[in-house]
Amino acid sequence: MKTRITELLAIRHPIVQGGMHHVGYAEMASAVSNAGGLGIITGLTQRTPADLAREIARCKELTDKPFGVNLTFLPSVTPPDYPGYVRVIIDSGVKVVETAGNNPQAYLPALKEASVKVVHKCTSVRHALKAEAIGCDAVSIDGFECGGHPGEDDIPNMILLPRASEELKIPILASGGMADARSLVAALALGADGMNMGTRFIATKEAPVHDNVKAALLAADERDTRLIMRPLRNTERVLINAAVERVLETERQRGAEITFEDVIDEVAGVYPRILQGGEMDAGAWSCGMVAGLIHDIPTCEELIDRIMSEADELIRGRLAGLI
């Protein structure tokens, strides 16, 4: 399947693995890239630029296919060494960066000069238009269904994707609610050029997370996510567990007086305990509604091959047969 995304990113299939904190290691990225998609190393999971350089080198030992690096720009009193991370990405020869969070404009000239393609993650059409205006090569449009931070507009992809395709000239990745061939074909019909999967890739054999995490995704259905930190305007979609119940109860009790410090124990620094340690009630962790569409734990190659094969059948068979 040839789309503007496969052409832009030099990949075989229009499927991208999103950046995921404490999931996007070399094992994950290389498995997706070897299967014909685009794997992504999560930059800030690596504590320093030097650590990221080593992780990129490790990924290159595991695949000779293109892969990218996610770099999320967060507001912080003591921000990470973003110039250092960007320099490592360029010096390591990585040719795709997925940016998220704050505006990446300050780093675009250096990335552009090194012929790095920049895909910016957005949760609204207005932010996507800004990304296009500052020179991003593509956008990843995150619908309300997504795991992690869906923004504050609450627009699902059935509306958000066609709106974005009406306004934008650059390629679009559909993100949020993407899990299988039906997701891909629907995204293409709605105006996207490919899809970005996060939660679905956690439920694969190569995903470097504890088996308890994969079991939780298998057991969950589409009703098992919750939105937390909405009163703080930092909304996050997470899988329901005891820690999430505590956060929601704190939000109910504190009301308009709530501060981040009231929930910090459940949301900050908990990912290693959950994703690597398997302590499923240790804190809140990002998960999309797409958990309801996860019924097995395939390899990345099995998953991507199945998606592409079934997408072909859907397009040539069911859809063509309706005409």
Query: Residue 76 pLDDT > 90, yes or no?
Result: no
Determine the Cα–Cα distance for residues 194 and 191; give it in Å rounded to an integer. 9
Query: Residue 186 pLDDT > 90, yes or no?
Result: yes
Closest C-alpha among 126, 119, 124, 134 to residue 11: 119
Backbone angles phi, psi at 227, to 5 degrees: -100, 120
Query: Residue 310 pLDDT > 90, yes or no?
Result: yes
Both tokens of 233, joined, read 């305007």
Question: Contact 138/171 with Cβ under 8 angstroms?
Answer: yes
Segment 301-311 mean pLDDT: 98
Both tokens of 260, joined, read 């981040």
Determine the Cα–Cα distance for residues 203 and 215; give it in Å rounded to an integer. 8
> Quick one: how far is CA 84 from the chain centroid?
23
Tally the residues of the chain.
323
pLDDT band at 91 (very low <50, low <70, confident <90, very high): very high
Domains and CATH numbers, the chain: 4-209+299-321 (3.20.20.70), 221-286 (no CATH)
Tokens 């505006």 appear where?
103
pLDDT band at 281 (very low <50, low <70, confident <90, very high): very high
Query: H or E stretch including 130?
Result: helix 125-134
Sheet containing 15-17: order of strands: 15-17, 194-197, 172-175, 138-142, 117-122, 96-101, 67-73, 39-42
What's the per-residue H, E or C state across 119-172?
EEEECCHHHHHHHHHHCCCEEEEECCCCCECCCCCCCCHHHHHHHHHHHCCCCE
**Type of residue numbered 183:** S
In degrees, rounded to 5, the angle at the alpha carbon of residue 213 between the alpha carbons of residues 209 and 248 is 125
Percentage of the chain lying above the pLDDT 70 cut: 100
pLDDT band at 75 (very low <50, low <70, confident <90, very high): confident
Model confidence over 6-37: pLDDT tens digits? Answer: 999 999 999 999 999 999 999 999 999 999 99
Determine the Cα–Cα distance for residues 213 and 202; give it in Å rounded to an integer. 8
Q: Please give the mean pLDDT across all residues of the chain.
A: 97
Percentage of the chain lying above the pLDDT 90 cut: 98
